[in-house]
Amino acid sequence: MTAQPRSLFEKVWDAHVVATRPDGQALLAIDRHFLHEGSFHAFGMIDHAGRKVRRPELTFAVADHYVPSHSRARPIADPEIANMVTMLEANAGRHGLRHFGLHDPAQGIVHVLAPEQGLTLPGLTIVCGDSHTSTHGAFGALAFGIGATEVSHVLATQTLWQRRPKTMRITVDGTPGPHVTAKDLILAVIAAIGADGAAGHVVEYAGSAIRALSMEGRLTVCNMSIEAGARAGMIAPDDTTFAWIEGRRYAPKGALFDRAVAHWRTLASDAEATFDHEVRLDAADLAPAVTWGTSPETAVPVTAAVPDPGAEADPVRAGQMRKMLDYMGLAPGMKLEEVAIDRVFIGSCTNARLEDLRAAAAVLRGRRAVVPGLVVPGSVPVRRQAEAEGLDRVFTDAGLEWGEPGCSMCVGINGDLVPAGERCASTTNRNFPGRQGPNARTHLMSPAMAAAAAATGRLTDVRTLDVRALDVRKLGAS
Amino acid sequence: MDAFVTLTAPAVPLDIANIDTDQLLPARFLKKPRSAGYGNFLFRDERKPGFPLDDPAYAGARVLVTDRNFGCGSSREGAVYALVDGGFRCVVAPSFGDIFAANAAKNGLLTVTLPEETVAALRRQLQEAPGAAVTVDLPAQTLTGPDGRPLSFAIDPFKKECLIAGLDDVALTLRHQDAIDAFDRADAGARPWVVPAA
């Protein structure tokens, strides 16, 4: 008997079903549960019900959302923010959880820290009360964001009720042009299928352009799956993945690592596996992208002009476009490359890894930023390595601030805000109204594009600047 | 959570697509305890003249009828708390963010998904007759708008059962305790690398 061909998602899903109900709901076993300061509601719920954490050894707490970017001194100046950080520490301590706090040498954004520490592995089910948990799918894990009540359910039972999602495969073949990054690729995907284009689906990214991405690039792609509405994004693990994991702190070692790799090699989708939806893109068609509106689906090539609502036939849609343009302070037909910016932010779980900082530094080396800006590395290890390579000096010499790791200006709850009415070139994941601060205007783009915008003071096609690859050894020695 | 069976209440239309959870609950309120209520935070930065939720004609609305991809973005359950504490029991849209819809069900907020044209027509009816009521019958899976025509909607049977019973699903899960224990024992042998060594 030949086994039914299965996709990567189906293999991981099937391996975690503990029980099924006649109505199709499955009780899924959860291998990793990450918590952050926002988890206080969920701790309150289990405490109220008198429940304990079922598997503390699979549960990890990370301070990232509220940690200050400008100082690691305690106490944190704002008492409400300080309370969020200490409450997580107290809850983790009380339940015996590993806690990566403000002064931990591994501290960072949970979606940067977990892969870096070898906590994210292929074939795992991973949840966190944060929508960008989709990031971890870059390793071939099934990883998705959940709400507070579900967090409390996982704390108490290490399981979650789920209906099996539909599947979508997004295949990107071909070779992208210069300065076209993983960020440009995923923005193009979101623009192509829409902000709810993958709702109810788990997406598998496949094709030669995906295989060619580094782990950092794959993390960026899977991170923004949620911006297309996807339940999760996944990429089949391969030698790039295994090489990245080997030797990391919490990863399996020696014979156990070899045994794990042998298992992980079986996870890739079978050749005959089928998907509910298939989408294809050619990497050669991609260009450095920016968004013009207040949804990531408004990504366009930087060479484009602001679209005209007058050309939209549906009056409701046209009204929504006008509302976005009004919020963004843009007029139809304006060339995006002529749009002046007020500041830049380089950071977030989307684009604060070493590769991202290197790309931004390569553009800014020898240049001055003409607007203020903040660069926030994704973790302490990223920060240390960037400093060893001299990247921090490239940024500070250009006039940008170099911050301490955390979510910072992406979500703006640690006090880092874009002032009202200001326009920010940002490497983050969301350009929603008010996301970076009340009435802040966000344009999403890659790190190299944000660096180019910093250097010129306007949205800029990085391909028009003379950028040479960075010799990091030379920088570190200087 | 409060059980949801039937509801007849005024509905407010909102012609905006992609309403994200940052708009529903601006991030600066995420650190607030639930005990004080989240109702005042709902759409806090959108409450400008002309915003339908502030229009006296729609006072007392308990149903929100809106456009596609409602509740996209952040997983913050506080977005649902803001709606529930603000008096809402039901949201009608052509599509929802998956995490938002899951959070809603856990808090007794019914999400009704209907085709785009149907929802657009319902919004127009509510704009033409501000303050008109809609009736939602969850056991029958129907929503009746101002025109009196019952619209059938689909809902996951498990979600429906939990909403009608106002059920805490941890209690339900614990009935599967033996299956969870058996899974853990088998998995420890099959995938010993899952528990981190360090």
Q: What is the CATH number of the domain that holds A137?
A: 3.30.499.10
B173 lies in a domain?
A: no
Test the A interface: residue of B173, B177, B185, B187 with most A CBs within 10 Å: B173
pLDDT per position as a tens digit, B126-150: 999 999 999 999 999 999 999 999 9
C-alpha closest to that of B122 among B99, B97, B98, B153: B153
SS3 assignment for B125-158: HHHHCCCCEEEEECCCCEEECCCCCEEECCCCHH
Decide the pairing of beta strands A32-35 and A142-145.
Answer: unpaired
Question: Can you give the pLDDT at residue A473?
Answer: 55
pLDDT tier, A3 (very low <50, low <70, confident <90, very high otherwise): confident
User: Rounded CA gap, A104 and A204, in Å?
Assistant: 34
Q: Which two tokens stand for residue A399?
A: 């006039």
Answer whether residue A2 shows pLDDT above 70.
no
A3 lies in a domain?
A: no
User: Rounded CA gap, A26 and B83, in Å?
Assistant: 28
User: Rounded CA gap, B140 and A151, in Å?
Assistant: 31
pLDDT tier, B198 (very low <50, low <70, confident <90, very high otherwise): low
Alpha-carbon distance B56 to nearest alpha carbon in chain A (angstroms): 23
Contact A430 B23 (CB under 8 A): no
Q: How far is the first Cα of chain A from the last one, in angstroms, to the nearest whole number?
A: 65
Chain B: residue whose CA lies nearest to A414:
B28
Answer whether residue A475 shows pLDDT above 80.
no
Residues of A in contact with B99 (CB under 8 A): 131, 144-147
A139 plus A39 within the same structural domain: yes
Answer whether residue A112 shows pLDDT above 90.
yes
Domains contained in chain A, number: 2
CB A42 within 8 A of CB A387: no
Q: Which residues contact A456 (CB under 8 A, 6 or more apart)?
A: A370
Answer whether residue A108 shows pLDDT above 80.
yes
The whole-number average pLDDT for the span B66-77 is: 97
Contact B15 A149 (CB under 8 A): no
CATH number of domain containing B145 = 3.20.19.10
A352 plus A247 within the same structural domain: no
Q: Does B152 touch chain A (CB under 8 A)?
A: no
Residue A407 counted as an annotated binding residue: yes
Question: Can you give the pLDDT at residue B49?
Answer: 86
Tally A–B CB contacts below 8 A.
Answer: 182
A67 lies in a domain?
A: yes
Q: Which two tokens stand for residue B62?
A: 């308990």
Question: Can you give the pLDDT at residue A271?
Answer: 97
A273 plus A180 within the same structural domain: yes
Residues of A in contact with B78 (CB under 8 A): 41, 148
Question: Can you give the pLDDT at residue A316?
Answer: 86
Calculate what percentage of chain A has a pLDDT beyond 90: 95
User: Rounded CA gap, A68 and A80, in Å?
Assistant: 12
SS3 B7: strand
Q: What is the pTM (predicted TM-score) of this model?
A: 0.97
Question: Can you give the pLDDT at residue B104?
Answer: 97
A272 plus A340 within the same structural domain: no
A204 plus A113 within the same structural domain: yes
pLDDT per position as a tens digit, A332-385: 999 999 999 999 999 999 999 999 999 999 999 999 999 999 999 999 999 999
Asked casually if ipTM beats, i.e. exceeds, 0.85, the reply is yes
- Residue B18: which domain range? 6-167
Contact B77 A156 (CB under 8 A): no
A157 lies in a domain?
A: yes
A162 lies in a domain?
A: yes
* Helices assigned H by DSSP within A312-469: 315-328, 354-364, 380-388, 391-398, 447-456
A329 lies in a domain?
A: no
Closest partner residue to A196 (CB to CB) among B23, B68, B74 is B68
Q: Does A52 touch chain B (CB under 8 A)?
A: no
Contact B76 A119 (CB under 8 A): no
- Residue A165: which domain range? 8-277
Q: Say which residue, A127 or A473, is predicted with more confidence.
A: A127
pLDDT tier, B171 (very low <50, low <70, confident <90, very high otherwise): confident
Identify the weakest region by mean pLDDT among A27-31, A72-76, A106-110, A301-305: A72-76
The whole-number average pLDDT for the span A82-105 is: 97
Alpha-carbon distance A399 to nearest alpha carbon in chain B (angstroms): 29
pLDDT per position as a tens digit, A200-256: 999 999 999 999 999 999 999 999 999 999 999 999 999 999 999 999 999 999 999
Answer whether residue B2 shows pLDDT above 90.
no
A320 lies in a domain?
A: no
A88 plus A205 within the same structural domain: yes
* Helices assigned H by DSSP within B48-198: 78-85, 98-106, 116-128, 157-165, 169-173, 177-190
Residue A128 counted as an annotated binding residue: no
B177 lies in a domain?
A: no
Q: Does A318 touch chain B (CB under 8 A)?
A: no
* Average pLDDT over chain A, rounded to an integer: 96
pLDDT tier, B1 (very low <50, low <70, confident <90, very high otherwise): confident
SS3 A128: strand
A143 lies in a domain?
A: yes
A77 plus A211 within the same structural domain: yes
Domains contained in chain B, number: 1
C-alpha closest to that of A436 among A294, A325, A329, A229: A294
The whole-number average pLDDT for the span A40-55 is: 96
The whole-number average pLDDT for the span A132-145 is: 98
Answer whether residue A478 shows pLDDT above 50.
no
Q: Which two tokens stand for residue A433?
A: 């109204």
Residues of B in contact with A259 (CB under 8 A): 192-193
C-alpha closest to that of A6 among A130, A143, A164, A185: A164
B182 lies in a domain?
A: no
The whole-number average pLDDT for the span A274-290 is: 98
A104 plus A16 within the same structural domain: yes
A426 lies in a domain?
A: yes
B1 lies in a domain?
A: no
A234 plus A340 within the same structural domain: no
Alpha-carbon distance B59 to nearest alpha carbon in chain A (angstroms): 24
